[in-house]
Structure 1
Amino acid sequence: MSPSKTAVLYRMVMPKHLCPYGLKALHLLKAKGYAVEDHWLETRAATDAFKAEHGVSTTPQTFIDGQRIGGYDDLRRHFGARTRDPNALTYTPVLAVFAVAALLALAVSQATFGTPLTVRAGEWFVAFSMSLLAMLKLRDVETFSTMFLNYDLLARRWVPYGYVYPFAELAAGVLMAAGILTWLAAPLGLLIGGVGAVSVFKAVYVDKRELKCACVGGDSHVPLGFVSLTENLMMIAMSLWMLVPRHG
């Protein structure tokens, strides 16, 4: 029988602070079959003393076979798992928005018409996407408007447009979802979608600039490119669709 695997973990467990990475490290070690000697650092003084003794700046810290592995990310790398780079570019945020918007649209269509696959579901998908993206921008309009100035042509000529944009996008999305005030929603969608599409195309495909998109807010790590252009083209298509006369 192979000897049992043992790891030693030091993590902060204080009355007003329970380190989440310590809990993650504990869970990961147990999942990998380790018996864990779980040492709690229950005061700030104990934590500072531990850091000074081992020459580290953060906790938790894991030791295996007497060797210090490090913090939670170091532990993940030790077991061959990938670690997230907080500054890496990723399409995940905007793809998550589109996925949630699609599911909501299908659900509302099912509840309304008894089937998820309807033309109205497609309309709701675009409207919900716009509304969710606007919500993310509205978390911090100041930071969004600053990032937006990196590439939007209208905002560069009229700075307040960067502050107006999230509210205009939300208004257009909500009105499109409700199917009302087409005379307002369609022009709004055409304006922000049209200017956005031209701005993204120029920045990415003409000027060949590598920028972050402000589409999910000013703290975005979404690269400006095809997905951003698609978002704007969806708004244009939806706005034009709303202007098509309905018969019957």
Structure 2
Amino acid sequence: MTDRTNNFPPLPSFLKIKPCFYQNIEEEIPAPHQQLVRKVYILWMMYSGTLCMNVISCLAWWAGGGSATNFGISLLWLVLFSPCSYTCWFRPLYKAFRADSSFNFMTFFFIFFLQCIFALIQTIGISGWGTSGWIATVMFFSYNVGSAIVMLITAVLFTLVTMLMGLVLLRVHRLYRGGGGSFERAQEEWSTGAWKSAPVREAGFNAVTQTAQGPSLPQYPTAVPSYPDNSHW
């Protein structure tokens, strides 16, 4: 595993800051779940894009006569939640499917549930919270129609992202329970320390084979437990 080079986030080579994670869905995630993990990754990008659009909307809100506080808080949400959402709920889900880790599944469920609640609050759009959701948008139509239209785009995006997050939460929970996962398994991983030992959880790698082109990367075994997939999302 020492031959692997971190590749996420993709950064220009001239920067001294290097990528923090190694991500390769085709290589590390069992084939039946690659599509789901890929869709959750796209959902993370959609949420980050919505936060970017929210900054633009709050700027239009400010330009139309709104408070500058909303614009400042929207920048905070972008800087804080864009990277934290990746590390706090996408990575646990990625590692959960990669190594069949109940602890990581439970981490994902807990944090992603809180994320869904926060996304719902952002969709509602309480004034002073730095999000141009529905309440703020509808009320601002009487002050500045142009700014309110820009805000409306963000409100629609927040609504779409929140709905997709709810579907993902239900989908992953159904797969986890259908595969025999439980809170007791997560407690067992916690008590034994297996949750923090990647070599233990991923000890099923095949040996590296030597070819004329040099050594290849170790591959994950096909014996990784597979969760049932009875429907498409």
Pair in the same fold by TM > 0.5: no
Higher helix share: 2
Query: Which structure is higher in RCO with an 8 Å CA cutoff and minimum separation 6?
Result: 2
Instruction: Give TM-score scaled by structure 1 length.
Output: 0.35
Instruction: Give TM-score scaled by structure 2 length.
Output: 0.37
- Rg larger for: 1
Higher strand share: 1
